[in-house]
């Protein structure tokens, strides 16, 4: 087979896709069209996985009661986070709009199954966390696929994993990697929100490169 020819025009568009990916915090409540979430998950499953283990487990959370329990966990963890900051950071933290759990039409919990026999443990004997990293790659793939359709994704990490596992009634052996809010963003901005509000600024890649 001949590999696809990804020309300069495609590469430029791909770079734009990377640059415009956002962690969305404010969503419109419009539902996604039928089949879109399934298509995004199918794209995510094209991500690389250690030993072709495919350790990702996706839980679509539609039940209002389960969503409320996840929201309760967020409220408790968010209060703890706010209390952990000094006055200046606490004031800025309090202004962040973390409304995805209320407004996003789709909630997707993504877990890693470290115990899966698929892949015969190749690449996981000395680094079992490679299963987690594989799921992170799947989430990143889903995020970019969503952005390509003007759909936003917000990764909610201010949660107690044990509370989420209990709320969703999944195997306690699964490891929560990400709780995603998915839907159409309220607005599209060139600058990430955290940079726009002064929480942190993106630094050049050279700051993170070490040569030996």
Q: What is the pLDDT of residues 123-161, one digit of tens each?
A: 999 999 999 999 999 999 999 999 999 999 999 999 999
What's the pTM value of the predicted model, to 2 decimals? 0.92
- Within a domain: residue 122? yes
Tokens for 86, please give them: 């000094």
- In this model, does residue 95 exceed pLDDT 80? no
CATH code for position 153: 3.40.109.10
Residue 93 DSSP SS3: helix
Q: What is the mean pLDDT of residues 157-166?
A: 97
- Within a domain: residue 11? no
**At CA 48, angle to CA 42 and CA 49, rounded to 5?**
100
- Within a domain: residue 104? yes
Residues 6+ apart with CB under 8 A from 120: 51
pLDDT reported for residue 85: 87
Domain tally, the chain: 1
- Within a domain: residue 130? yes
- Within a domain: residue 205? no
- Within a domain: residue 120? yes
Top-confidence residue, 106 or 91: 106
Question: Nearest-CA neighbor of 57 among 4, 112, 95?
Answer: 112
pLDDT reported for residue 116: 96
Task: Classify the phi-psi angles of 70: left when phi > 0, otherwise alpha if psi is within -120 to 50, otherwise beta.
Answer: alpha
- Give the percent of the chain with pLDDT over 90: 81
Domain that holds residue 187: 31-200
Digit-coded pLDDT (tens) for 171-208? 999 999 999 999 999 988 878 888 877 788 989 999 99
- Within a domain: residue 51? yes
- Within a domain: residue 14? no
Mean pLDDT over each residue of the chain, to the nearest integer: 94
């Amino acid at each position: 087979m001949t590999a696809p020819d990804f020309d300069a025009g495609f590469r430029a568009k791909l770079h734009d896709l990377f640059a415009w990916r956002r962690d969305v915090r404010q969503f419109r409540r419009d539902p996604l069209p039928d089949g879109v979430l399934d298509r995004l998950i199918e794209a995510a499953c094209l991500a690389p996985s250690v030993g072709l283990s495919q350790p990702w487990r996706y839980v679509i959370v539609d039940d209002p009661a389960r969503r409320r329990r996840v929201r309760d966990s967020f409220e408790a963890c968010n209060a703890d986070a706010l209390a952990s900051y000094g006055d200046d950071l606490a004031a800025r933290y309090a202004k962040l709009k973390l409304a995805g759990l209320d407004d996003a039409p789709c909630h997707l919990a993504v877990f890693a199954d470290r115990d899966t026999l698929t892949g015969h443990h190749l690449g996981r004997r000395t680094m079992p966390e490679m299963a987690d990293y594989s799921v992170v790659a799947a989430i990143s793939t889903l995020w970019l696929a969503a952005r390509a359709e003007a759909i936003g994704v917000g990764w909610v990490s201010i949660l107690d994993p044990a509370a989420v596992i209990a709320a969703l009634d999944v195997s306690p052996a699964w490891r929560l990697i990400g709780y995603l809010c998915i839907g159409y963003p309220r607005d599209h901005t060139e600058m990430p929100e955290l940079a726009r509000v002064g929480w942190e600024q993106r630094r050049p890649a050279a700051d993170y490169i070490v040569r030996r």
